[in-house]
């Protein structure tokens, strides 16, 4: 990457922590069987994520077994298990990742006064003690420990800094500051990271992580803000699945960091060309399709109907596509024939099915396609074949009669 003076600027790597199998699976309707979890984990490994959070082992015997199975199967990336900051939780998580080649223990405790008072019934001092005691215990049994300050975005900043320092002093090397309920706006979320990093004197040897929920539709924006503020791990899910409105969508964040790399100065290890296949696999496993207008992997993400857009795409795809469909694994773009379509797109579609229309034939086809689109909304390939056949046959007959 070059700066304005032409000098090479180093590109920093952002680790991708995929929590599809844990936070994603917790959302209603997205539960997976053990074979499905393993199948999804293999795909995530192939995709190139750095960490797979396999489950929350204390939650159920099935979750423990699923975590164990993923830990045994995955060798190419880190496998993490989640645990509350309690010894029995941590023991279950350690059991779950005991056979992982690269294990990580991920423990958490809420730090906002709202959660401490109403949910945990803990004072701030008791919370700090629980963090220190349990992170230290986890670190004694696992070489890599991540601590999450649940509801960090609604935690008073001075106390949040104390909680983070307690975790770091106890041995955590990854600190996650989640926007647990999707409450933060990007400016606030970025400021929180900057404050914590400053409190830790630049956080040498510590990776700051972001985990953003989408309750206000800001999951991706907040993830970006965290990166710009110094976070170097992002916790994401395929198709944005997760509790309530879901998590920041992995495919959207990855493409964002790729398309705007020159501005952001970061990269990831994810293979873009496997994003679409990964999204489709999750849809197949869960039976929950993505919205047609979903960024990157939705059915309309690379579909164009407006005539002006179609004309631009045919002349230069960059006019209306900031990344090619093939780059993310989508087989090809789609020029949809509908009431907004233009003649250039219609000509291209006719050529694709084997017809090379004259100007008059194209005009006749265009009128018929427009009329059909007003009734049927879109025109299928079968419809177009029928129209082209009728027009070409009629035109051939008229030509023959004129010649006679």
For residue range 311-321, list pLDDT tens digits in order. Answer: 888 899 889 89
φ, ψ at 25 (rounded to 5°): -70, -20
φ, ψ at 210 (rounded to 5°): -120, 140
Domain annotation covers residue 280:
no
8-state DSSP, 28: T
The rounded mean pLDDT for the chain is: 93
Parent domain of 77: 12-270
- In this structure, the answer to whether residues 22 and 119 fall within a common structural domain is yes
∠ CA 214-216-217, nearest 5°, is 55
The percent of residues above 70 in pLDDT, for the chain, comes to 95
- The model's confidence at residue 4, banded by pLDDT at 50, 70 and 90, is very low
Is the Cα dihedral 231, 232, 233, 237 positive or negative? positive
- In this structure, the answer to whether residues 141 and 74 fall within a common structural domain is yes
Instruction: For 138-188, write each residue's pLDDT tens digit.
Output: 999 999 999 999 999 999 999 999 999 999 999 999 999 999 999 999 999
- The model's confidence at residue 1, banded by pLDDT at 50, 70 and 90, is low
3-state class (DSSP) for residue 198: helix
Closest CA to 196 of 164, 223, 152: 164
User: What is the C-alpha to C-alpha distance for residues 73 and 40, in angstroms, rounded to an integer?
Assistant: 11
Q: Residue holding tokens 């600027």?
A: 9
CATH number of the domain that residue 172 is part of = 3.20.20.70
Instruction: For 68-98, write each residue's pLDDT tens digit.
Output: 999 999 999 999 999 999 999 999 999 999 9
Domain annotation covers residue 120:
yes
User: What is the C-alpha to C-alpha distance for residues 325 and 250, in angstroms, rounded to an integer?
Assistant: 17
With 50 as the cut, is the pLDDT of residue 5 above it? no
∠ CA 79-82-83, nearest 5°, is 140
- The number of folded domains in the chain is 2
The percent of residues above 90 in pLDDT, for the chain, comes to 75
- In this structure, the answer to whether residues 37 and 80 fall within a common structural domain is yes
- In this structure, the answer to whether residues 168 and 42 fall within a common structural domain is yes
- In this structure, the answer to whether residues 255 and 394 fall within a common structural domain is no
Do residues 28 and 56 lie in contact, with contact meaning Cβ atoms separated by under 8 Å?
no
DSSP string, 59-99: G-HHHHHHHHHHHHH--SSEEEEEEESSHHHHHHHHHHTTT
Q: Global pTM?
A: 0.88
With 90 as the cut, is the pLDDT of residue 337 above it? no
User: What is the C-alpha to C-alpha distance for residues 120 and 128, in angstroms, rounded to an integer?
Assistant: 13
Domain annotation covers residue 147:
yes
Instruction: For 237-272, write each residue's pLDDT tens digit.
Output: 999 999 999 999 999 999 999 999 999 999 999 999
């Amino acid at each position: 990457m070059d700066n304005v003076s032409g000098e090479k600027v180093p590109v920093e790597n952002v680790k991708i922590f995929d929590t599809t199998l844990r936070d994603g699976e917790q959302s209603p309707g997205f539960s997976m069987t053990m074979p499905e979890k393993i199948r999804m984990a293999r795909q995530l490994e192939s995709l190139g994520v750095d960490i797979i959070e396999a489950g929350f082992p204390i939650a159920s015997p099935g979750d423990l077994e699923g975590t164990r199975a993923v830990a045994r199967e995955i060798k190419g990336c880190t496998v993490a298990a989640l645990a509350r900051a309690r010894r029995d939780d941590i023991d279950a998580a350690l059991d779950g990742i005991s056979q992982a080649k690269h294990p990580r223990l991920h423990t958490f405790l809420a730090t906002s006064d709202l959660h401490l008072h109403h949910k945990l019934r803990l004072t701030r001092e008791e919370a700090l003690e629980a963090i220190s005691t349990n992170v230290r215990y986890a670190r004694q049994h696992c070489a890599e420990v991540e601590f999450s300050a649940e509801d960090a975005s609604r935690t008073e900043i001075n106390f949040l800094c104390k909680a983070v320092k307690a975790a770091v002093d106890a041995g955590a090397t990854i600190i996650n500051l989640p926007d647990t309920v999707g409450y933060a706006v990007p400016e606030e979320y970025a400021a929180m990271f900057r404050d914590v990093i400053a409190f830790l004197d630049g956080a040498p040897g510590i990776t700051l992580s972001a985990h953003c929920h989408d309750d206000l539709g800001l999951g991706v924006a907040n993830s970006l803000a965290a990166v710009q503020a110094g976070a170097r791990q992002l916790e994401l899910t395929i198709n944005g699945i997760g509790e309530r409105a879901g998590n920041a969508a992995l495919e959207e964040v990855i493409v964002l960091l790729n398309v705007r790399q020159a501005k952001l100065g970061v990269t990831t290890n994810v293979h873009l060309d496997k994003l679409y296949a990964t999204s489709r696999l999750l849809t197949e496993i869960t039976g929950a399709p993505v919205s047609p207008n979903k960024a990157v992997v939705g059915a309309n993400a690379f579909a164009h109907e407006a005539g002006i857009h179609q004309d631009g795409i045919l002349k230069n795809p960059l006019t209306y596509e900031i990344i090619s469909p093939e780059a993310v694994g989508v087989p090809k773009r789609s020029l949809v024939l509908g009431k907004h379509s233009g003649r250039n797109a219609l000509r291209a579609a006719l050529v694709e099915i084997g017809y090379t229309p004259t100007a008059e034939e194209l005009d006749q086809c265009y009128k018929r396609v427009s009329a059909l689109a007003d009734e049927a909304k879109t025109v299928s390939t079968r419809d177009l074949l029928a129209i082209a056949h009728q027009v070409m046959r009629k035109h051939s007959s008229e030509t023959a009669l004129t010649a006679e």
